[in-house]
Amino acid sequence: MLIDGCGRELTYLRVSLTDKCNLRCRYCVPPEGVKLLEHADILSLEEVLRVISILTSMGVSRVRFTGGEPLVRKNAISLIQKVANLECAPRIGITTNGVLLDDYIDYLVYSNVRDINISLDTLDPAVYETLTGEDALSSVMRSIQSCLVNGVNLKLNVVPIKGINDENIPSLAALARDYNVAVRFIELMPVGCASCYEGLSNDDVRKKLSEVYGKESLCETEGGGPAEYVKYDGFTGNVGFISPMSHSFCDKCNRLRLTCDGKLKLCLASPECLDLKALLRAGASDEDIAEAIRDAVKNKPVRHGMRFTDDRNMIGIGG
């Protein structure tokens, strides 16, 4: 078991496979772009597998691949297959923009990927292109259909932003009316270039949805995660709310993050981390690395108090 300094059990790891992305979402990538890491500074897939193997042997039971866009990392699927075959195999998820997902869905399902989150902020093709820089909404919709056909546990993540996609909130929620998916609204966090935009609080989103879909009824929370789920009359799936800005859930945080350059981040909002790449490349044994992790997590911040002090953009952290 991996326990931090305030007794929280750390069971969930988010792994950023790359800082590259095939979209340029305005709130994630600054207009001037980001300076990409040198190839040598990025963990090899063997190094990523080794870190995951060490952490799963220490009690991490869920691993989610993210990025950048995880599906643009060459051989991501072969890594995921190896993770699925680890002795302490975790439950595996992936967070993707969905643009390439349709090409890989069969491999992911075959590799036991049970949880797929697709980020989708609008159903309007013109807004999608303005927000992401690409005319790719139809590819994402195809991927959603493939997930539904394959029966994966599908969640659609929406970040509502004033003046950009706030008009699209009811139509996005309607996907949970029509399909067996969870549509989750995530409050915009002021990370890097996102601080130029104004997000909506989930209290406002809920008010908007109740005006359209009527009274919400609360559902059981899933897997102890930060989302609160509700259902509206006649809905097949659930609607979820992740509210890091208006409702802190640090006291229940069970997360660690591995950035693609090998930093084990202890908290999304703060720069504190353990440089695992340095240890891996200095020839540390698995036991040495496990010991260093056990020591580092003692300093996982108690809470972030909404102060985002890491100067990376979300694309470099792995949201």
Chain residues in the site for ligand SAM (CB under 6 A): 21, 27-28, 66-67, 69, 95-97, 119, 157, 159, 186, 188-189, 191, 194, 314-315, 319
- Minimum Å gap between C-beta 197 and ligand SAM is 8
Round to whole Å and give the CA distance between 306 and 317.
16
- CB-CB contact of 8 with 254 (8 Å): yes
Measured CA to CA in angstroms, residue 121 lies from 50, 93, 157, 159, 163 at distances of: 34, 20, 7, 6, 13
DSSP-derived 3-state class of residue 303: coil
Round to whole Å and give the CA distance between 125 and 248.
33
Would you say the C-alpha torsion 101, 66, 131, 226 has a positive or negative sign? positive
- Minimum Å gap between C-beta 87 and ligand SAM is 28
- Minimum Å gap between C-beta 52 and ligand SAM is 18
Residue among 13 and 189 whose Cβ is closer to ligand SAM: 189
Cα–Cα nearest to 50, from 299, 257, 254, 290: 290
Round to whole Å and give the CA distance between 156 and 184.
6
Residue among 119 and 146 whose Cβ is closer to ligand SAM: 119
Residue among 9 and 246 whose Cβ is closer to ligand SAM: 246
Residue among 54 and 140 whose Cβ is closer to ligand SAM: 140
Residue among 27 and 241 whose Cβ is closer to ligand SAM: 27
Q: For residue 231, list its beta bridge partners.
A: 217
- Minimum Å gap between C-beta 203 and ligand SAM is 16
- Minimum Å gap between C-beta 309 and ligand SAM is 14
Residue least distant from ligand SAM (Cβ): 319
